[in-house]
Amino acid sequence: MSESIYIAWVAIGGAVLALIYAAFLASKVSACDTGTDRMREVASAIREGAMAFISREYKVLAIFVVVAAIIFAVVNKGPVRLVSLAFVVGAFCSGLAGFLGMRVATKANVRTANAARTSLNKALDVAFKGGAVMGMSVVGLGVLGLSSLFLILTYMYGAHTEALKNTVLPILAGFSFGASSIALFARVGGGIYTKAADVGADLVGKVEQGIPEDDPRNPATIADNVGDNVGDVCGMGADLFESYVGSLVSSMVLGISAGFTAVMLPIALAAVGIIASIIGTFFVKTKEGGNPQKALNMGTFLAAIIFVVAAYFIINFLAPDGLTFGGMYVCAAKLWGAVVVGLGAGVAVGLLTEHYCAMKKGPVEEIVSASKTGAATSIIAGLSVGMRSTALPLFAIVIAIIVSYSLAGLYGIAIAAFGMLSTTGIQLAVDAYGPIADNAGGITEMSDLGEEVRERTDALDSVGNTTAAIGKGFAIGSAALTALSLFAAFREQAGLTRIDITRPDVMAGLLVGGMLPFLFSSMAMKAVGKAANSMIEEVRRQFRSIPGLMEGTAKADYAKCVDISTGAAIREMILPGLLAILTPIIVGFGSKWIWGDAAALGGLLAGVTVSGVMMAIFMSNAGGAWDNAKKQIEGEVKDPENNTGKGSARHAAAVIGDTVGDPFKDTAGPSLNILIKLMSVLSLVISPLLM
Amino acid sequence: MSESIYIAWVAIGGAVLALIYAAFLASKVSACDTGTDRMREVASAIREGAMAFISREYKVLAIFVVVAAIIFAVVNKGPVRLVSLAFVVGAFCSGLAGFLGMRVATKANVRTANAARTSLNKALDVAFKGGAVMGMSVVGLGVLGLSSLFLILTYMYGAHTEALKNTVLPILAGFSFGASSIALFARVGGGIYTKAADVGADLVGKVEQGIPEDDPRNPATIADNVGDNVGDVCGMGADLFESYVGSLVSSMVLGISAGFTAVMLPIALAAVGIIASIIGTFFVKTKEGGNPQKALNMGTFLAAIIFVVAAYFIINFLAPDGLTFGGMYVCAAKLWGAVVVGLGAGVAVGLLTEHYCAMKKGPVEEIVSASKTGAATSIIAGLSVGMRSTALPLFAIVIAIIVSYSLAGLYGIAIAAFGMLSTTGIQLAVDAYGPIADNAGGITEMSDLGEEVRERTDALDSVGNTTAAIGKGFAIGSAALTALSLFAAFREQAGLTRIDITRPDVMAGLLVGGMLPFLFSSMAMKAVGKAANSMIEEVRRQFRSIPGLMEGTAKADYAKCVDISTGAAIREMILPGLLAILTPIIVGFGSKWIWGDAAALGGLLAGVTVSGVMMAIFMSNAGGAWDNAKKQIEGEVKDPENNTGKGSARHAAAVIGDTVGDPFKDTAGPSLNILIKLMSVLSLVISPLLM
């Protein structure tokens, strides 16, 4: 059976290929020209800020990782102690992927702006290559780390069912939890950071000092631009790294009952997905005056089609006679069907998300129209749109669950989750392209590169908004399915034959779990407020105490500002972070102690998944819709008399909606994705102790 | 065993006593003086409006009730067909209680205003007596209807376990569903109505025509005052009628396994609660300059204490040797403990609700402070407070679940729910007192009764705000526990031994259920927007086409305006109403057809309860906190320069928060209480068909 261990070597090959390709793309980006002195000045300020953030964040995280690793080593017994090592490796890989991605993104922004001075296609090329480094780093490091650990562990402990179930896979879960921990900090910290900087820059710079937006004299402006990278590049990367690794690990765990091939199949599919993503990137091209959206769609859909076709052959090659899960026989075609269903659900959720957030479509028009009668009606309309937008994506997820389960049981749900994430390499490239194009637009504006260049970066940027919406949809959909498959894996590993909600302890767990996303969101939103205040004070201090700053003769202390914002973000992170990590531990061991098993923890995970998914969709989509409602009004003819365009009362109402939407879509909403996965994977990690 | 059927006669005696007492109180209120001509004019306009609403609403509901009754008669077989009759009786009793309560409330408002011209105690007395009519009507009609039906049915089919389980109690569930249907319309329709009138009156009257608030020339002002009665008197009454009846029926169903005494015990406790409530009302008195809050607390707490003590003796009298539920022995003291725990949890949730919504306390101060920097930060702070406020009430509910279950199993949860509602008679009297005092204040203002009188009604009114907050907390807490006990009763009746969330159909049900409160809230909020638009058009039309209206020489067509608003409210009600009623039916029969049992419906109920309770707490408390933040700013020294008091930018920001909060706290939030109970009770009603 275990001769199929060679698959892990193949996967490592694919992962190394992805990393080499990432290095190649990074060198291509680096080789591009950085334009004028002015452009370089702006870009280096953003770059300095991003690196200041990373260095400060990683210092704090290092302490957390070491402490958690020691605890894991102490509380576990026997070989499972190695979970602490896997945890450190997972955290390191996730952190490294974020570091590499952000490093290149902050190089690509200025080079994209410069390329836009000559051609749209060149600019698209640079921005997309920059994003692709992130995408390839995530899948490359994810698969490399996981497969290497798997090879080492099976070499040490063997590849028979007992070893896999009791030693190898519980340790691998630690890798996944390491990724989750970093993701929690990256998403929540990054989310608080970027919104604090945004508010700080606006309130002190624009309102108090009367200098324009994105003015380099404003110390917080750079932090604001850094925030886009921190939140949208690094945060999204860590989020998908977590989903990617989590869905791999959970499908491996759920595969045990069918034997070694079922355990290796997800890794084989990951290798296929990497190759498909790499091929897809070659097709992202457009000509002058062309539509960059089509180019991105072309690459993404092509990668998906290649993956779907290749997956069919791979599954038939590895499991020509199907698999048998504890008595249930599943043929190869059904396994393939589950993967395809997951991918289809991901596309559906992405497209629905885009529908609810896109300009000129029903939901955004509703907010635009409600803004006529003021901020209150604008807010009510946005909340109503956001709440309504939970329904259809949820149905897509539910259909995926039912169909994939009917095809291949719980393993089906897990490989459906992985199917959704199979082309993460190119999907994330497209996501990360957004903030690069956005930053490029900002640099263009600040460096006076002229109308034509600005038009090109605008074309790139508007595509970025759509891709961001779709990417968020994918992140939510995959978080839901990944959490469910981790939940199933937890149940298997904790030895719970069922989790009966008519038991009061399970119902209590369900209720507490359902409450956590509300409490967590509340904390995140309050944290944005507090961090913004610290930022405002620092910016005021710099304007007061640095002579020549307003005149442009002295340079603002960007790093200090970024450092303040980072510090505040990480400080404010501690409480929600502890909530996420301690709750499953307390509920798990508490219920084991009181009721004799960990069923209440199962209820908790179900509750947090149900209300977390709804709140994440609600908050992300409401925020996205408000944002585009504001942009749509800004695109109208400027005529305040008739209440249209910039400067009108309607615009002011929409701006208020957009400001409310900021912590919704960039802090609380996306953080919930992490919350639900982190709690599930942590439960999986502690499940051997709950047996 | 069935000699304890006499308890039903005792309960009927208690119920009749409550109704006689209600009639006595109503005649006392009627006998009071109605004051000046001006006062009578204003009051009769409100009264006309309220009756126009009731008459229109009941016409529509009659059609619905008849159609639903025919369907029940057709789809059921054998004696259970009588469920359609019980349904009609339940709907009638709920409707009648609402009618009686609102009739007296709209008499009591002007008489309270008149009494306030001489003494605070007299005014308190009239307002409280008016509210007590509602309270006594609800418990009286609830117990009378249920006990009479029970007596008739046991006379027809016998009182042995089989007859109870298969015929009598399934039919009684129809009574409960009748109450739920009326409650759904009363709460959602009333909620849409009152907010549509509010916005219509403000936008056309205050903004366009420049006439003051509560000016009788404004046709929608009366609708606005009617709305307070419709939403807070009638809506709250129907809500608690539903909880009261639902918790009684579910504890009777869950009692079957322990024999007849366990079935009768809840009815006996209801009779005790009625007597305790009546005694409590005698102690609601204050002297001039005294604190009306203390008087109301005195009555409420006294009733609770009397109930707790009497319940101990009644339980020991009826079940001196305890009860045995399918092998589990429960002593009398434990039964009593479960009741007390429920009541305690109700008090805790009520006080916590008050904490999050009260002026000068932390959460409201947070919003007041955030309003300094504008509407966006005010909204973010309110949303954050509302989300955070789910945590502690949820813990109170969870503790009640765990403790009452550990004392007396599922029956324990059901009698804990009833314990929370045992003193509904006085609790609802205190709730309904609020809008009466509020209306009295409005009438005082419109009739120029002078400073001293206004101070007295203000004192009564400010207490009303607190009692409203506590009442909403009770309504949410009891809805949660009632829904859970109905859920348990459904499981028993549907023959489901367990509902395992690791089954994908149950998980799918859980996810869909978790989504429904979001979709339902979205619909309710959108409906407010649409209904408000219809209202605005009608008010504009009247100002245009009625000569002499602005000069005060012609009377506005209040009834037309109220009719428009009622029509719009009921029209907008249909979609959310269908959603609530059709979903359990589709999921129940669909899952029976696909998976062979109704476990997915169990998942749906659990999901809707979990996310419904959170959303209800979140929306009610956010709305309440915004409302009081605005009031707190209005109470400050008026100094727009320093951003304090009315007319300041901070006040404008808080007004926007309050407007967003209106549909939160008065439409969507409270409607969710009904949604979760209605779906559970409907599942219980259809459970014989799902066996």
Chain B residues lying within 8 Å of A602, measured CB to CB = 501-502
Model pLDDT, residue A287: 74
Q: pLDDT tens for residues A104-126?
A: 999 999 999 999 999 888 899 99
| Least trusted range by pLDDT, from A171-175, B185-189, B521-525 | B185-189
Distance, in Å, from the CA atom of A622 to the CA atom of A386, rounded to the nearest integer, reads 4
| Dihedral sign computed on CA atoms, order A466, A470, A471, A472 | positive
Distance, in Å, from the CA atom of A686 to the CA atom of B577, rounded to the nearest integer, reads: 44
C-beta separation of B295 from B127 below 8 A: no
What are B324's strand-pairing partners? Answer: B329
Residue among A198, A325, A380 with most chain B CBs within 10 A, to mutate: A380
B595 pLDDT band (50/70/90 cuts)?
confident
- Kindly indicate the confidence band of residue A1, based on its pLDDT and cuts at 50, 70 and 90: very low
At B363-379, the pLDDT tens digits run 999 999 988 888 888 99
Which of A458-462, B251-255, B387-391, B493-497 reaches the highest mean pLDDT?
B387-391
Cβ within 8 Å of A, B 37-96: none
B-chain residues within 8 Å CB-CB of A413?
Answer: 504
Chain A closest-CA separation from residue B608 CA (Å): 10
Chain A environment of B505 (Cβ under 8 Å)? 402
- Average pLDDT estimate for B544-570: 81
Q: d(Cα B492, Cα B494) in Å, to the nearest integer?
A: 6
Are residues B261 and B1 in contact, defined by beta-carbon separation less than 8 angstroms?
Answer: yes
- Inter-chain touch B660–A203, beta carbons under 8 Å: no
Bridge-partner residues for A639, per DSSP?
Answer: A644
Within a 10 A sphere around the Cβ of A240, how many other Cβ atoms?
Answer: 30
Q: Give backbone dihedrals phi and psi of B328, rounded to 5 degrees, phi first.
A: -95, 120
A648-689, pLDDT tens digit by residue?
A: 888 888 988 988 998 998 899 989 988 999 999 999 999 888
Per the structure block, which two tokens stand in for A245? 């690794």
Q: Tell whether B392 is within 8 A of chain A (Cβ).
A: no
* Region for A328 from its dihedrals, namely left if φ exceeds 0, alpha if ψ lies in -120 to 50, beta otherwise: beta
- Residues 607-636 in A contacting B (C-alpha not used; CB under 8 Å): 607, 610-611, 613-614, 618
pLDDT digits (tens, 9 = 90+) for B517-555: 999 999 999 988 788 777 878 888 888 888 888 887 888
Eight-class DSSP state of A639: B
Contacts of A406 in chain B (CB under 8 A): 504
**pLDDT band for position A2 (50/70/90)?**
low
- Select the residue of B410, B501, B656 nearest A606 (Cβ to Cβ): B501
Residue type present at position B460: L
Where residue A575 falls among pLDDT bands split at 50, 70, 90? confident
Alpha-carbon distance A493 to nearest alpha carbon in chain B (angstroms)? 13
pLDDT of residue B267: 94
User: Residue A606 pLDDT > 90, yes or no?
Assistant: yes
Candidate from A391, A510, A523 with C-beta closest to B610 = A510
Give the gap in angstroms from C-alpha B520 to the nearest C-alpha of chain A.
Answer: 8
Question: Looking at the partner chain, which of A391, A484, A504 has a beta carbon nearest the beta carbon of B507?
Answer: A484
Q: What is the C-alpha separation between B197 and B179, in angstroms, rounded?
A: 26
- Cα–Cα distance for residue pair B174/B89, rounded to 1 Å: 9
> To the nearest whole angstrom, how far is the Cα of A293 from the nearest Cα of chain B?
31
Q: What Å distances lie between residue B293 and B25, B126, B242, B629, CA to CA?
A: 21, 15, 27, 21
Q: Which of residues 343-372 of B touch A (CB under 8 A)?
A: 370
Asked if pLDDT for residue A20 goes beyond 90, the answer is: yes
Please list, in sequence order, all residues whose beta carbon lies within 8 angstroms of the beta carbon of residue B459, skipping any fewer than 6 positions away: B120, B292
- Give the percent of chain A with pLDDT over 70: 98
Within an 8 Å CB–CB cutoff, is residue B602 touching chain A?
yes
- Judged by CB atoms closer than 8 Å, whether chains meet at B607 and A603 is answered as no
Chosen from A207, A520, A610 to mutate, greatest number of chain B CBs within 10 A: A610
Cβ atoms of residues B220 and B197 within 8 Å? yes
Query: Does pLDDT of B91 surpass 50?
Result: yes
In this predicted structure, what is the pLDDT of residue A207?
A: 65
| Average pLDDT rounded to a whole number, residues B312-319 | 93
Is B498 at the interface with chain A, CB within 8 A? yes
Nearest to A514 among B375, B525, B614 (CB): B614
Predicted pLDDT at B511: 96
Per-residue pLDDT reduced to its tens digit, A413-433: 999 999 999 999 998 998 888
Are A371 and A657 spatial neighbours (Cβ–Cβ below 8 Å)? yes
Contacts of residue A177, Cβ cutoff 8 Å, sequence gap at least 6: A87, A90, A678, A681, A682, A684, A685
Q: CA-to-CA distance for B673 and B481, rounded, in angstroms? A: 11
Q: What angle is formed at CA A455 by the lines to CA A454 and CA A456, rounded to 5 degrees? A: 90
Distances from the Cα of B150 to the Cα of A155, B93, B155, B158, B159, angstroms: 71, 15, 8, 10, 10
pLDDT at A85 over 90: yes
Contact across the interface for B607 and A610, Cβ inside 8 Å:
yes
- State the count of interchain CB pairs (< 8 A) between A and B: 206
Radius of gyration of the CA atoms of chain B, in A: 24
* Residues A352-387: tens digit of each pLDDT: 998 998 888 999 999 999 888 888 889 999 999 999
Q: Mutation test of the interface with chain B: which of A407, A507, A512, A593, choosing the one with the most B Cβ atoms within 10 A? A: A507
Closest Cα in chain A to B499: A500
pLDDT in tens, B98-125: 899 889 999 999 999 999 999 888 899 9
Q: Average per-residue pLDDT in chain A?
A: 89
What residues of chain B, 454 to 493, have a C-beta less than 8 Å from chain A?
Answer: 484, 487-488, 491
Find the CB nearest A387 among B401, B499, B518: B518
> Could you say which residues from 523 to 542 on chain A have a Cβ atom under 8 Å away from some Cβ of chain B?
523, 525-526, 528-529
What is residue A447's predicted lDDT score, i.e. its pLDDT?
Answer: 82
At B2 the pLDDT is 58
Answer yes or no: do A501 and B502 touch at CB < 8 A.
no
Note whether B376 contacts A515, CB cutoff 8 Å.
no
Q: State the DSSP H helix or E strand holding residue A325, giving kind and residue range, or none if neither.
A: strand A323-325
Q: Do B511 and A397 touch (CB under 8 A)?
A: yes
Q: Which residue of A has its CA nearest to B380?
A: A660
Task: Please list every residue in chain B whose beta carbon sits closer than 8 Å to the beta carbon of residue A612.
Answer: none
Which of B610, B630, B656 is the best residue to mutate to test the A interface, defined by the most A CB atoms within 10 Å of its own CB?
Answer: B610
From first CA to last CA, the distance across chain A in angstroms is 28
What mean pLDDT do residues A129-136 have? 94
- How close is the nearest chain A Cα to the Cα of B677, in Å? 16
pLDDT score recorded for residue B206 = 67
pLDDT at residue A588 in the model: 93
Per-residue model confidence as pLDDT tens digits over B432-481: 888 898 889 888 877 878 888 888 888 888 777 677 777 788 888 888 99
Contact A169, A266 (CB under 8 A): no
Share of chain B above pLDDT 90, in %: 44
Integer Cα distance of A550 and B47 in angstroms: 65
CA–CA separation, B545 vs A464, rounded Å? 53
Q: Please tell me the predicted confidence (pLDDT) of residue A234.
A: 86
User: Which of A373, A392, A501, A572 is the best substitution to test chain B (most B C-beta atoms within 10 A)?
Assistant: A501
CB contact set of A35 (below 8 Å; sequence gap of 6+): A110, A111, A113, A114, A117, A447, A449
Among A301-310, A555-564, A615-624, B614-623, whose mean pLDDT is lowest?
A555-564
Residue closest to B601 by CA, chosen among B617, B616, B614, B582: B582
Q: Which DSSP category does A77 fall into? A: -
Q: Is B433 near chain A, with CB under 8 Å? A: no
* Nearest CB to A402 within list B377, B401, B504: B504
Are A104 and A29 in contact by the 8 Å Cβ rule? The answer is: yes
Inter-chain touch A391–B515, beta carbons under 8 Å: yes
Give the Cα separation of B117 and A653 in Å (integer).
44
Amino acid at B50: A
B261 in A contact zone (CB under 8 Å):
no
Under the banding of pLDDT at 50, 70 and 90, the label for residue B1 is very low
Q: Does the beta-carbon distance from A203 to B373 stay under 8 Å? A: yes
Interface of B with A in 650-679 (CB under 8 A): 655-656, 659-660, 663
Say whether pLDDT at A150 is over 70: yes
Cα-Cα-Cα-Cα dihedral of A320, A326, A330, A332, to 10°?
Answer: -30
* A186 neighbors A98 (Cβ within 8 angstroms): yes
Residues of B in contact with A518 (CB under 8 A): 387-388, 390-391, 614, 618
Residue A515: which of B391, B499, B501 has the nearest Cβ?
B391
Candidate from A293-297, A330-334, B127-131, B334-338 with smallest mean pLDDT = A293-297
For chain A, positions 413-432, list CB contacts with chain B under 8 A: 413
Taking an 8 Å cut-off on Cβ atoms, the answer to whether B376 and A491 are in contact is: no
Can you tell me the distance from the alpha carbon of B555 to that of B549, in angstroms, rounded to the nearest whole number? 6
